[in-house]
Homo-oligomer: A and B are copies of this chain.
Amino acid sequence: MALKTPGEFKESLRDGRVVYLNGEKIDDVTTHPQMKIAVETAAFDYEMAEMPEYYDLAVVEDEKTKEPFSRYFHRPKNAEDLLKRHELMLTASRLNYTTTPFAREMIDSFNGCVVTAHTMGNKEYIERTDAYLEYLKKNDLSLAGAITDVKGDRSLRPSDPKQSHPDFYVRVVDKNKDGIVVRGSKMHITGSPYLNELLVMPSRNMTEGDVDYAVAFATPVNAKGIIQIAHPFDWHRGSADFPLDVPVRSHTDAMIIFDDVFVPWERVFLCGEWEHAAMTVYNFAYMHRHTAVTYHIAWVELIVGLATAMAEYNGASRAANIREQMTELIYYLNTMKSLARASCMDCVMHGGIAIPNPVTANVAKYFYANNYHNVVKIVEDICGGILTTAPTYADWQNEETGKLMEKYLIGRADASAEARLRILQALRHYPCLGTELDVNNIHAEGSLMAARLTIYSEARKDLKLYKTLAEVLSGVTKMSQEEYFGLVRELGELGKA
């Protein structure tokens, strides 16, 4: 058991994986001009473990063997563990130039399987998940989670014969004594082209007829039959942009096709238990919505900073309406931060693992995703039309236009034209504004509605107690004072660890 160096991590990605990008197959993701940016982004997770200042945050030592392993592989047992993990993810994102490394945050998906195994009381699955965790620790692996199926017709179940074909959800097409063979396709899988392992699970509830679709497993991404179509990214940087000294960080995602992939039994964590399919993805989502709100904080900090800079450069920061807008940005950011940490504080235990409070974690995700577009509107309003109409770096380099820009695009006396143009460029690129983050905010970790449905279903007990309170205080139900005080006690315990 040993921590990998960033170099060893990169080396591990040269494993014959099948990855396409923009219609071409990539030979080596670590050297491909675009993909290597994503590789560096993920590699920071390994780099951080080597930074003495953050060692205690990033690394846990085995209680018995004292061998070090990534904190992501430590099963959280209480609020403190979750707060540490929160701090690790947020600090890593900040250090990594506001982009989460995302090399192992998807341990959330594996933990979803672990919790399910324990809830089912399935001894075999418990042993397999324990063994897989040891394997991850020992080899200091990275992993992606593959959840969202391509779905076909959303109004039909996976096994509905009215679907154009039966492969819209990943399913078991064969089994033998050594393992299973799976077919299907998953979409929106962040990081899979440049991480080691893939944790696959159902994306929805299943019925008895969907039994073949109730399957969860782990597999190396270079397994035979796995084909990835990665999404072009970082397209928004080019010759028209001011060169930066800051390392470029960016992730991408892939559509993954499982073209009859073999998975040995020791990596199968669900197979046919359709009643537990929904629970598996639910258990994952609880954790992952907290993860997501955590690393988005770093992006929002940057957005708020860019808006502040622009307001000041424009000489506008003291105007009443600009201050109002800055207040809205802070309100947004601080609520995100408070909700993210409150969900750790009020964690609950599922299958021996402390998970962020399910209501609060979903409230946090919903809050930031539902209000993000308003943040975009505010920042655009602060910046003004120049956010879109600013001349480019090419114009800057042209002698005649460059000198005109230098004269006319100054803001406040101490804000050079170049400084203003760089802030605007950053707002367009990070990607703070524009399609990617917009969509990511809405859809990553499930839709707005997914968060809302979870909030509702997780709060059933709360609602029951509030209703009892209402019935007592409206005289519908009579209660002795003693009983009423008992009710108050129950209210006091709601949502606490």
| A397, CB-defined interface residue at 8 Å | yes
Which residues of chain A (201-236) have a CB below 8 Å from chain B?
227, 229, 231-232
Q: Please, how many angstroms separate the alpha-carbon atoms of A408 and B183 in the complex?
A: 11
Q: A315-B155, A363-B334 are in contact. Are A387 and B439 (CB under 8 A)?
A: yes
Complex formed: what's the CA distance from A315 to B397 in Å? Answer: 51
Stretch of A105-113, A263-271, A274-282, A420-428 on the interface side: A420-428
Chain B proximity mask over A176-203: 1 for CB below 8 Å, otherwise 0: 0000000001011000000000000000
Residues of B within 8 A of A63 (CB): none
* CB nearest to A163 among chain B residues: B413
Does A405 interact with chain B (Cβ within 8 Å)? Answer: yes
- Write out the residue numbers on chain B whose beta carbons fall within 8 Å of the beta carbon of A229: 391, 395, 401, 404-405
Contact A492/B91 with A435-B434, A466-B301 known, Cβ cut-off 8 Å = yes
- Interface stretch, picked from A1-9, A117-125, A469-477, is A469-477
Q: A360-B338, A380-B443 are in contact. Are A463 and B398 (CB under 8 A)?
A: no
Residue of B373, B396, B405 touching A376 (CB-CB under 8 A): B373
A70 to chain B, nearest CB (A): 20
Taking the nearest CB of chain B, how far is it from the CB of A460, in angstroms? Answer: 10
Determine whether the beta carbon of A456 is less than 8 Å from that of B231.
Answer: no
CA distance A148 to B20 in the complex (A): 46
State in angstroms the CA–CA spacing of A367 and B331 once bound together: 9
CB distance from A455 to the nearest CB of B (A): 5
Q: Name the one of B324, B384, B388, B439 contacting A231, with C-beta atoms under 8 angstroms.
A: B388
Query: Smallest CB–CB gap between A338 and chain B, Å?
Result: 4
Q: Is A385 an interface residue (CB 8 A)?
A: yes
Q: Is A485 an interface residue (CB 8 A)?
A: yes
Contacts of A422 in B (CB 8 A): 474-476
The stretch that binds B, out of A31-39, A128-136, A341-349, is A341-349
A50 interface hit (Cβ, 8 Å):
no
Q: How far is the CB of A233 from chain B (nearest CB, A)?
A: 10
Contact A23 B392 (CB under 8 A): yes
Return the chain B residue nearest A488 by Cβ.
Answer: B94
Q: Which of A138-146, A242-250, A283-291 contacts B (4 or more CB under 8 A)?
A: A242-250
Q: Within the assembled complex, what's the spacing in Å between the Cα atoms of A259 and B472?
A: 34
Q: Are A232 and B240 in contact (CB under 8 A)?
A: yes
Instruction: Name the one of B162, B404, B495 contacting A227, with C-beta atoms under 8 angstroms.
Output: B404
Q: With an 8 A cutoff between CB atoms, is A260 at the interface?
A: no
Let me know if B185 and A467 touch, CB within 8 A: no
Q: Does A154 contact B (CB under 8 A)?
A: yes
Mark contacts of A328-359 with chain B using CB atoms, 8 A cut-off: 1 yes-contact digit, 0 otherwise. Answer: 00110111011101110110000000000001
Is A22 part of the contact surface with B, judged by Cβ < 8 Å?
A: yes
A459 to B472, CA, bound (A): 43
Q: Residue A100 at the B interface, CB < 8 A?
A: no
- A342 to B464 Cα, complex, angstroms: 25
Residues of chain B within 8 A of A320, CB atoms compared? 320-321
**Closest B-chain residue to A409, C-beta based?**
B150
| A23/B470 contact (C-beta < 8 A), A91-B492, A187-B389 known | no
Query: Which chain B residue has the least Cβ–Cβ distance from A487?
Result: B94
Q: Is A411 an interface residue (CB 8 A)?
A: yes
Q: B321 to A401, Cβ gap below 8 A? A: no
Tell me the residues in window 438-469 of chain A with beta carbons closer than 8 Å to chain B beta carbons. Answer: 438-440, 442-444, 447-449, 452-453, 455-456, 459, 462-469
**A329 → chain B closest CB, angstroms:** 9
A410 CB within 8 Å of chain B: yes
Candidates B306, B397, B475; contact of A242 at CB < 8 Å: B475
Q: Is B359 in contact with A334, judged by CB distance below 8 angstroms?
A: yes
**A326 interface hit (Cβ, 8 Å):** yes
Contacts of A428 in B (CB 8 A): 435
Chain B residues, Cβ within 8 Å of A475: 242-246, 422, 426
A474 to B302, CA, bound (A): 10
Q: How far is the CB of A349 from chain B (nearest CB, A)?
A: 19
Most B CB atoms within 10 A — which of A97, A165, A339, A476?
A476
Q: List 26 A-B contacts (CB under 8 A).
A: A23-B394, A23-B395, A87-B492, A91-B492, A94-B488, A153-B411, A154-B315, A155-B412, A156-B315, A162-B413, A187-B386, A231-B389, A244-B474, A255-B391, A305-B466, A306-B474, A309-B471, A324-B452, A327-B456, A331-B366, A338-B360, A342-B342, A387-B439, A388-B436, A426-B474, A428-B435
In the A-B complex, the 4 residue pairs with the closest CB atoms: A23-B394, A305-B470, A305-B466, A426-B474
List 11 additional A-B contacts (Cβ < 8 Å) besides A22-B395, A308-B470, A338-B346.
A20-B398, A151-B314, A154-B319, A257-B408, A308-B464, A327-B453, A330-B455, A330-B462, A342-B342, A380-B443, A381-B442
